[in-house]
């Protein structure tokens, strides 16, 4: 398992956190997701054999936020 903390701009409330978490958790191999709108971060624990950082960033973007 690998853990990554990604910056994600555009989150401004608890609902945004839940939305980002829901989208990222759809990926196969994602074990835990915790978004924090106050510091603009999404922390993800994932199996790098099943998914990639690029796939996680794509899901964050799909949720409506800008991954960095």
Cα separation, 32 vs 41, whole angstroms: 14
Question: What are the residue ranges spanned by the domains of the chain?
Answer: 2-67
Cα separation, 35 vs 5, whole angstroms: 9
pLDDT of 57: 98
Enter the pTM of the model: 0.93
Beta bridge partners of 46: 2, 30
pLDDT of 5: 97
User: Where does 2-67 sit in CATH, by number?
Assistant: 3.30.70.100
pLDDT of 59: 97
pLDDT of 13: 96
Per-residue pLDDT of the chain (68 residues; tens, 9 = 90+): 999 999 999 999 999 999 999 999 999 999 999 999 999 999 999 999 999 999 999 999 999 999 98
């Amino acid at each position: 398992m690998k853990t990554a903390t990604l910056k994600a701009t555009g989150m401004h409330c608890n609902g945004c956190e839940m939305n980002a978490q829901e989208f990222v958790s759809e990926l196969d191999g994602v074990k835990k997701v915790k978004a924090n709108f106050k510091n603009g971060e999404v922390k993800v624990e994932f199996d790098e054999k099943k998914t990639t950082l690029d796939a996680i960033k794509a899901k964050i973007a799909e949720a409506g936020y800008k991954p960095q």
